[in-house]
C-alpha cells in the first residue's frame, strides 16, 4: 500500500533536521580550532619580532602588554619611514649626475651662429620716407622710437619684405669667412633670418625644411646650401643617425661638425658694420650682436646676444654643455622627471622640440589671445594669423612688459628637453692693429683705411678649447629595486620582516587551515554515512505503513467479497 504524501514529507523533513545541525557544528567549530591552533604556532615560530612574547600565556599580563606597546611603536615608526621613502621614490625619481663617458666634439655639431647689425636700416635706403607714411612709422618701431599712429595714412604693413629692403644684406655684413682650414664664400655660408633684432645672418642652423613644419610658408624654407654640402635632420637625442659618426668626407654634413680645437680650426669672421650708413641702433652703441645656439632652435639674439665692437678683435672660446637621459626614464611621468623627449610634444611651427622653440610658440599664443596678432619675428601658429598692425603697438608692448607672467605660464608647459645641447662663450677682446690687419691675407684686397677699420671693421674667432667634454646625465635617483631594498631594510630592522614572513602568513592563515579542514571532512564522511543508515528505518524501495492502517485496509478490501459470497441469488 502507498504511503500518504504528507507522511513522506514529514519523514524527509525530520531526517534533514537531524542531519543539518551536525554538519554546521563540524564546519564552524573545526574552523575556529584550526585558526586558534595555527595562530598560536605562527606566533611561536615566526621571524617577526615580539609576537612570541605577546602570545606567550606563561608571561605576566604586564609583560605581554609591554611587548604589545613596543610592537605598535616600532610598527608606527617603520610605516612613517616607509612613507618617506615612497615619497622620495614617487616625487624625485631623477637625479642629474656626470656622464662617466667623455663626449667628443667631433660627434657634435658646431654651434649655430647668428650675427645681427645693431643698425636697423641703411640711411640711404630710408632717407626718402615721408613722416606720415607707413614705412616711416614701421621704421620708428624698429628703432624703438615713439610713433604717432594717427598720422599714418594706412595700416597696411608687410614687415618681412620691408626689413629685407632696408637692412644690410649678409654679403656686405660678413665679408670674410674661414671655417676649419678652408675659406668659404660668406654669401653661401650665411643666410638671412628675421629675429627680434631685425635682419640677421645665421650659419650652421638646421636646414629650414627640417627646422619648420611643412605648412610654414615656402619663403622660410627656400634656402640653398653651398655646393657639396649634404643637409641632415640632426637633433640632440639621435645625433647624426643617418650617416653615423664617421668624419666628413667629400660631402660634408650640414649642420657642420666641429673640425678640431683651437683658433685655427674654428670659425673666423671679418665683419663690416658700415658705421657711416647708420640710421638708428637697436641699443645705445654701434657694432654687432652675436648669439651661439643649438642648430635646431631659434635664436634669441635680443636677450642673450654678445656685443662685438668695431675696431676690435674678439675671441670667443666655446663651452659646450649637453644633457643626456637614460632611455628607460620614458616610463616615468614627465612631471616627475621634468623633461620631455623629442617626440613627446609636437610643436605647430617648429619641427623639433626644444624648450626655447616651445616658449617662442607659447608667447606667440599669448599675443594671439590678447591682441589677435603676432609680431613679425614670432611663429604663426595658425594659417590665418596676421602680423600686428601699427595701431596694435600698445597691446604688443603691454604683453611684452608682462613677459615674466607669460614666461612662468609657458615654462610650466614647456619642460626642458631630456636631450639638449647648448653653447656658451667666454669673450676676450683687444684692439685691431691696422698694420697687422693690412698685412694679413684675410683682407681680401679691400682698400680700407686705418680710420675705416677702426670705425667699422670687427674680427671674431670662435673655437673649442678641448677635444672632449663632460656631459650631464639624468638617471634614476631611486629605482624600484632601490625602493624595495629600502623598504625591506626598514622592515627587517624594525620588525624582522621579510618575504618569507609573507609566505608564513599565507601558509598559516590560508593554506594550512584549508588543508586541515579538508582532511577532517574526508575522515567524517564514513561516520556520517553509517549514522544515516542507522537512522533510516527501512530501505528506500519498501513503503512504510503502520499495523492499524494495514488492518483497516484489509477489512475494507474483504467486505465486498463477503457480500458476493452470501448473496442468495
Domain containing residue 439: CATH number = 2.60.470.10
447, 476, 505 — which closes off a domain? 476
Q: Do 422 and 342 share a domain, yes or no?
A: yes
Segment 36-64 mean pLDDT: 77
Query: How confident is the model at residue 152, as a pLDDT?
Result: 57
Segment 147-158 mean pLDDT: 62
Q: Is 189 exposed, middle or buried (0-12, 13-18, 19+ CB in 10 A)?
A: buried
Q: Do 382 and 502 share a domain, yes or no?
A: no
Give the pLDDT confidence of 377-415 residue by residue, as tens digits: 888 888 788 888 877 878 887 777 766 667 777 878 888
d(C-alpha 440, C-alpha 158), whole Å: 43
- Answer yes or no: is 19 within a domain: no
d(C-alpha 15, C-alpha 12), whole Å: 5
Residue 498 pLDDT > 60: yes
Residue 1 pLDDT > 60: no
Query: How confident is the model at residue 272, as a pLDDT?
Result: 93
d(C-alpha 564, C-alpha 562), whole Å: 5
- Answer yes or no: is 457 within a domain: yes
Mean pLDDT rounded to a whole number for the chain: 78
Q: Do 45 and 102 share a domain, yes or no?
A: no
Q: Do 374 and 453 share a domain, yes or no?
A: yes
Segment 263-291 mean pLDDT: 90
pLDDT band at 323 (very low <50, low <70, confident <90, very high): very high
Query: How confident is the model at residue 420, as a pLDDT?
Result: 93
Residues with Cβ within 8 Å of residue 175, at least 6 apart in sequence: 186, 270, 271, 272, 444, 446
Give the cell for residue 61.
599580563
Segment 415-426 mean pLDDT: 92
Q: Do 161 and 202 share a domain, yes or no?
A: yes
pLDDT band at 319 (very low <50, low <70, confident <90, very high): very high
Highest mean pLDDT: which of 3-17, 51-65, 527-541? 51-65
- Answer yes or no: is 2 within a domain: no
Residue 370 pLDDT > 80: yes
- 0.85 exceeded by pTM: no
Put residue 262 in one of left, alpha, beta given phi > 0 → left and psi -120 to 50 → alpha.
left
Contact (Cβ atoms closer than 8 angstroms) between residue 324 and residue 471: yes
Q: Do 137 and 35 share a domain, yes or no?
A: no
Contact (Cβ atoms closer than 8 angstroms) between residue 314 and residue 428: yes
Give the cell for residue 301.
639674439
Residue 307 pLDDT > 80: yes
pLDDT band at 556 (very low <50, low <70, confident <90, very high): low
Q: Do 322 and 432 share a domain, yes or no?
A: yes
Query: How confident is the model at residue 549, as a pLDDT?
Result: 56
- Answer yes or no: is 46 within a domain: yes
- Answer yes or no: is 4 within a domain: no
Segment 535-540 mean pLDDT: 49
Number of domains present in the structure of the chain? 2
Q: Do 187 and 44 share a domain, yes or no?
A: no
- Answer yes or no: is 459 within a domain: yes
Q: Which residue has the higher pLDDT, 57 or 197?
A: 197
Residue 174 pLDDT > 90: yes
Residue 136 pLDDT > 80: yes
Give the pLDDT confidence of 504-513 residue by residue, as tens digits: 778 777 777 7
List strand residue ranges (DSSP E) for 132-197, in order. Answer: 174-179, 182-184, 191-195
Residue 46 pLDDT > 50: yes
Residue 441 pLDDT > 50: no
Task: Quote the distance between the C-alpha of residue 95 and its chain's center.
Answer: 14
List Cα–Cα distances, 203 to 148, 254, 422, 500, in angstroms. Answer: 38, 10, 16, 65
Domain extent, residue 41, equals 28-91+481-520
Highest mean pLDDT: which of 170-184, 212-226, 475-489? 170-184
- Cα-Cα-Cα-Cα torsion 69, 72, 75, 80, nearest 10 degrees, comes to -110
Residue 118 pLDDT > 70: yes
Pairing of strands 312-325, 267-272: unpaired
Q: Do 32 and 161 share a domain, yes or no?
A: no
Q: Which residue has the higher pLDDT, 246 or 70?
A: 70
In degrees and rounded to multiples of 5, residue 457 shows phi and psi of: -100, 135
Cell 633670418 belongs to residue: 193
- Give the burial string for 239-264 (b: 16+ CB within 10 Å, else e): bbeeeeeeebeeebbbbbbbbebeee
Q: Do 106 and 216 share a domain, yes or no?
A: yes
Q: Do 187 and 302 share a domain, yes or no?
A: yes
- Give the burial string for 131-163 (b: 16+ CB within 10 Å, else e): eeebbbbbbbbbbeeebeeeebeeeebebbebb
- Answer yes or no: is 192 within a domain: yes
Residues with Cβ within 8 Å of residue 374, at least 6 apart in sequence: 364, 367, 368, 380, 385, 386, 387, 388
In degrees and rounded to multiples of 5, residue 459 shows phi and psi of: -120, 135
Q: In 3D, which of 448, 462, 189 has the Cα closest to residue 311? A: 448
Q: Do 60 and 203 share a domain, yes or no?
A: no
- Answer yes or no: is 557 within a domain: no
Amino acid at each position: 500500500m502507498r504511503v500518504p504524501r504528507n507522511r513522506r514529507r514529514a519523514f524527509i523533513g525530520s531526517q534533514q533536521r537531524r542531519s543539518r545541525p551536525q554538519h554546521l557544528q563540524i564546519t564552524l567549530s573545526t574552523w575556529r580550532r584550526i585558526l586558534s591552533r595555527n595562530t598560536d604556532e605562527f606566533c611561536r615560530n615566526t621571524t617577526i619580532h615580539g609576537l612570541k612574547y605577546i602570545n606567550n600565556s606563561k608571561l605576566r599580563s604586564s609583560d605581554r602588554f609591554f611587548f604589545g606597546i613596543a610592537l605598535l611603536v616600532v610598527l608606527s615608526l617603520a610605516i612613517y619611514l616607509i612613507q618617506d621613502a615612497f615619497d622620495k621614490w614617487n616625487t624625485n625619481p631623477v637625479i642629474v649626475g656626470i656622464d662617466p663617458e667623455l663626449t667628443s666634439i667631433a660627434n657634435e655639431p658646431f654651434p649655430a651662429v647668428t650675427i645681427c647689425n645693431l643698425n636697423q636700416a641703411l640711411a640711404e635706403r630710408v632717407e626718402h620716407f615721408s613722416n606720415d607714411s607707413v614705412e616711416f612709422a614701421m621704421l620708428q618701431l624698429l628703432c624703438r622710437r615713439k610713433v604717432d599712429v594717427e598720422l599714418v595714412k594706412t595700416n597696411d604693413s608687410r614687415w618681412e619684405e620691408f626689413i629685407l629692403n632696408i637692412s644690410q644684406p649678409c654679403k656686405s655684413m660678413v665679408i670674410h669667412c674661414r671655417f676649419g682650414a678652408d675659406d668659404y664664400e660668406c654669401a653661401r655660408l650665411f643666410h638671412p633670418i628675421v629675429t627680434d633684432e631685425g635682419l640677421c645672418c645665421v650659419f650652421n642652423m638646421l636646414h629650414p625644411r627640417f627646422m619648420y613644419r611643412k605648412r610654414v610658408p615656402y619663403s622660410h624654407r627656400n634656402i640653398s646650401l653651398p655646393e657639396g654640402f649634404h643637409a641632415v635632420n640632426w637633433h640632440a637625442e639621435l645625433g647624426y643617425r643617418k650617416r653615423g659618426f664617421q668624419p666628413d668626407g667629400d660631402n660634408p654634413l650640414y649642420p657642420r661638425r666641429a673640425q678640431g680645437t683651437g683658433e685655427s680650426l674654428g670659425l673666423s669672421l671679418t665683419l663690416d658694420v658700415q658705421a657711416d650708413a647708420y640710421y638708428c641702433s637697436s641699443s645705445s652703441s654701434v657694432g654687432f650682436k652675436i648669439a651661439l645656439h643649438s642648430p635646431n632652435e631659434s635664436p634669441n639674439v635680443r636677450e642673450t646676444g654678445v656685443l662685438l665692437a668695431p675696431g676690435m678683435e674678439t675671441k670667443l672660446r666655446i663651452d659646450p654643455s649637453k644633457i643626456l637621459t637614460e632611455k628607460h626614464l620614458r616610463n616615468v611621468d614627465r612631471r616627475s622627471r621634468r623633461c620631455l623627449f623629442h617626440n613627446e610634444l609636437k610643436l605647430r611651427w617648429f619641427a623639433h622640440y626644444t624648450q626655447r622653440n616651445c616658449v617662442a610658440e607659447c608667447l606667440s599664443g599669448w599675443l594671439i589671445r590678447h591682441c589677435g596678432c603676432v609680431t613679425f619675428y614670432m611663429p604663426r601658429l595658425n594659417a590665418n594669423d596676421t602680423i600686428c598692425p601699427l595701431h596694435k603697438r600698445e597691446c604688443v608692448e603691454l604683453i611684452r612688459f608682462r613677459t615674466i607672467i607669460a614666461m612662468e605660464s609657458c615654462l610650466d608647459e614647456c619642460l626642458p628637453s631630456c636631450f639638449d645641447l647648448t653653447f656658451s662663450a667666454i669673450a676676450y677682446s683687444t684692439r685691431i692693429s691696422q698694420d697687422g690687419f693690412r698685412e694679413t691675407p684675410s683682407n681680401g684686397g679691400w682698400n680700407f683705411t686705418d680710420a675705416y677699420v677702426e670705425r667699422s671693421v670687427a674680427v671674431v674667432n670662435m673655437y673649442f678649447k678641448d677635444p672632449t667634454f663632460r656631459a650631464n646625465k639624468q638617471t634614476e635617483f631611486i629605482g624600484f629595486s632601490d625602493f624595495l631594498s629600502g623598504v625591506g631594510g626598514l622592515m627587517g630592522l624594525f620588525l624582522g620582516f621579510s618575504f618569507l614572513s609573507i609566505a608564513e602568513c599565507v601558509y598559516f592563515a590560508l593554506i594550512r587551515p584549508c588543508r586541515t579542514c579538508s582532511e577532517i571532512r574526508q575522515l567524517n564522511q564514513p561516520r556520517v554515512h553509517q549514522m544515516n543508515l542507522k537512522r533510516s528505518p527501512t530501505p528506500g524501495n519498501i513503503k512504510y505503513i503502520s499495523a492499524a492502517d494495514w488492518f483497516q485496509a484489509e477489512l475494507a478490501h474483504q467486505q465486498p467479497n463477503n457480500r458476493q459470497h452470501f448473496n442468495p441469488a
